[in-house]
Structure 1
Amino acid sequence: MTVDASSAFPTPRRRASARKRRRLALLAVIGLALAAATALILNAFNDSLVFFRTPSELAGKSEMMGARLRLGGLVKQGSIAHEGTTTRFVVTDMKADQPVTYTGLLPDLFREGQGVVTEGAVGPDGVFKADSVLAKHDETYMPKDVADRLKSQGLWKEGEGAGTAAPKPEAAK
C-alpha cells in the first residue's frame, strides 16, 4: 500500500484557505454581535423618547392616544380650575386647545397666559393626563444681579427686562 505524500499533509494553499475561512467566520460573528448590540441600544433609546407636541399637532389625531409625550403651549386665560389636589386647565397654541388634568403641586410660575410644558399621555376621553408640569418664564426675564450690573454700566434701558426682579433705585436702601 503506497501513501501519496501530497494527500497526507495539507498544502500551503489549503492552510491559507482554512485561515481565511476562520477569519471570515470570526468577522461574521463580530458583525452579528455588533448588529445585535446596535439593535438593542436603538430599541431601548426609542422606548425612552418623549416627543414634544403642540395642541394643533394633537387635534384629531387618535393614533397619539396613550402615547407618552410632552405637550407645550400657553395656559389659556380663565381655564384653571382646582378640585382638591387636581388641577384642570387648557393648553393652547392660539390655533387649537387641549384640556389637561394634573394631580400634584404646581410650579410657582404656573399661571394663566404663561408658557407651560406638560408630560403625560392623552386619555381615551381626549384629556391630556399630565404627570409633570414645567412652567416657563418669558424671554424678558433677567436675574437681579445681571440687571444691576447692566444699570451700573449704563447699558440698561428702561422698559427692558419686563418681569425682572430688579430693584427700584433708592428703594432698597
Structure 2
Amino acid sequence: MSNQPKISQICFTTPKSFSPETSFGIYASNGHITAITFSPPEFEQIFPEDMEVITEAKKQLSDYFTGKSKTFTLPLSLPKKGFYSQVWAHMLNVHYGETCSYSDLALAAGSPKGMRAVGSACRNNPIPIIVPCHRVLGKNGSLTGYAGGIELKRALLQLEGVEV
C-alpha cells in the first residue's frame, strides 16, 4: 500500500457573471483544501473524505464570484513553518475590499526589508483567492504580478469594490 495521501481534484469555472471567465483546479486531502490552481486538473476525482469540503469550496467560490459572500470559512492545509507561512497567515487578515503593500506584509511577517520575499510568497501561494494574494499591491498602489494574470487580479479587486 502506498503512503501517498489521496488527493481529490475537481475543476471549477467562474460563473458567467464574472469576467474574465476562468477555470481553476480545486484540490483537497483529508478534508482540507490544499491548493487552487489557475489551470483545471486533467481529470476529476473526489474521495469520500473530501466530498464535503470540495462541495463547500465550490459553493463558497461561486458565492464569492457572484458577490453573495465576502469571506471563506474552509479548512485549509497550508505549510506551517517558514517565512512564507507567516506571510500567508498575515494575508488571511487582509479582508474583502482591503489591500496592503508588499512592504506592509514584510513588516507584519517580521522582515521589514523582505518585500521581494513577500512577492515570492505570493507567487508560491498554494491557495490563491482564498489566501488573498490578489489584495497585495505595490507600495504606490500599482498592480504588480499575479500568477493568474494582471487582468484576473484587476477583476478580483474590482469585484471587491477596490478602485484600480
State the TM-score, normalized to the length of structure 2. Answer: 0.23
Structure with more strand by fraction: 1
Larger-gyration structure (1/2): 1
Bigger RCO of structures 1 and 2 (CA < 8 A, at least 6 apart): 2
* TM-score normalised by L of structure 1: 0.22
